[in-house]
C-alpha cells in the first residue's frame, strides 16, 4: 500500500467520523506528527488517533511499544486512540483505558512502507476484546 493510499484512507476515516459521528478531527499524517489525526471527540474531549490499515487479518492487533509510549506521554487531558482496520473489521482502542499490557518481541519491518528489511521490535498485542468499538461487516 503506497503512502498516498494510506493518507487517502486516513482522510476518509476522518471525514466519516466528522460528518456522521460528530467528531472534529484534522489530518496530521502528512506531516512529521507521530499520529494521524487530532481534534475533538463527539463529547468535546481533545484526542489524537493513530491509524493502521492492514491487508491481512490478525487476531491480535499489534502496536509498537515505542509508539504507545509516545502517545501516552502526551498530556493527560488528551484521549489517545488506536484505530485498526483489516479485512475482518474496524477496531477502536481507547488506550487510556487499557491497563497491564505485556510486551513481546517480534520481527517487523524497519518501517511500515519504505524498507523490506526486518528487525526485532517490542510490541503490544491488543486482543479484540480490548477494543472500545468493533465493527465487523458480517455481524450486521
Question: Which residue ranges form the domains of the chain, and what is each CATH number?
Answer: 3-139 (3.40.1350.10)
Coil, strand or helix: which one is 62? strand
Neighbour-count burial for 2-30, b at 16+ CB within 10 Å, e otherwise: eeeebeebbbebbeebbeeeebebebbbe
- The answer to whether 130 and 101 are in contact (CB under 8 A) is no
pLDDT tens-place string over residues 53-105: 999 999 999 999 999 999 999 999 999 999 999 999 999 999 999 988 989 99
pLDDT tens-place string over residues 20-57: 999 999 999 877 789 999 999 999 999 999 999 999 99
Amino acid at each position: 500500500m503506497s503512502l498516498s493510499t494510506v493518507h487517502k484512507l486516513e482522510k476518509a476515516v476522518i471525514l466519516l467520523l466528522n460528518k456522521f459521528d460528530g467528531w472534529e478531527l484534522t489530518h496530521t499524517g502528512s506531516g512529521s506528527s507521530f499520529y494521524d489525526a487530532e481534534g475533538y471527540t463527539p463529547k468535546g474531549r481533545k484526542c489524537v488517533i493513530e491509524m493502521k490499515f492492514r491487508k491481512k487479518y490478525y487476531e491480535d492487533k499489534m502496536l509498537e511499544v515505542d509508539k504507545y509510549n509516545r502517545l501516552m506521554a502526551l498530556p493527560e487531558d488528551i484521549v489517545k486512540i488506536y484505530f485498526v482496520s483489516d479485512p475482518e473489521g474496524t477496531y477502536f482502542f481507547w488506550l487510556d483505558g487499557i491497563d497491564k499490557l505485556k510486551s513481546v518481541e517480534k520481527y517487523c519491518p524497519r518501517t511500515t512502507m519504505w524498507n523490506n528489511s526486518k528487525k526485532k521490535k517490542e510490541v503490544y498485542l491488543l486482543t479484540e476484546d480490548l477494543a472500545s468499538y468493533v465493527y465487523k461487516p458480517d455481524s450486521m
